[in-house]
Amino acid sequence: MPTVAHCRPSDLSETENGNAFSHAHATISEAIKPSNMAVIILPTLPFWLHLLIELPASLNFFLNPSEQLSSAAPQAHALVRQYAVLLFASSLVALIFATRQVDRTSRNVAGALAVYHLAPLVRAVSRVFGGEIGYGKGLGGPWIHLAVHGLCFVGLSRMYLSRPWRKNL
């Protein structure tokens, strides 16, 4: 009997012991035991971190666009909101890949998300060590940005680089 993640409608027919849903329920129950959660979350932790960091940022950018710029022209609000939607979309992509097994595609997506984290990481480094004047301490300030984007960059890069270097994988 296939697991819940691999069920097709044809797999959900009656079985000799009742129905396929009873087996599916047992599989789901086993998957959400606390002892199994680490097995589920740890391999995809960089995706969860990206989601945890970028989802609140996307909502903040969308709801408070004027707080993101020093002198916000009305036209800039549309650009900040567009960026917020892109961040939200990247969070949805991270959620999709956080809830599936790590494979070649997951690793490639991790590499792409790692590249994204370079820009806020470089900006945070310049604000912390270069004396660049920021626009306040929204969402924690430059030290927090340096730490969280650095953590995301390292985690996602490590996931990307952990791939087997064989052609067929």
**pLDDT tens track for 55-89:** 999 999 999 888 877 776 778 888 999 999 999 99
- pLDDT per residue over 84-135, tens digit each? 999 999 999 999 999 999 999 999 999 999 999 999 999 999 988 887 665 5
- Single pTM value for the model: 0.71
Query: 153, 117 in Cβ contact below 8 A?
Result: yes
Token pair recorded at residue 2: 């296939």
Q: Which residues contact 44 (CB under 8 A, 6 or more apart)?
A: 97, 98, 99, 100, 102, 106
Residue 121's identity, in one-letter code, is L
Share of the chain above pLDDT 90, in %: 50
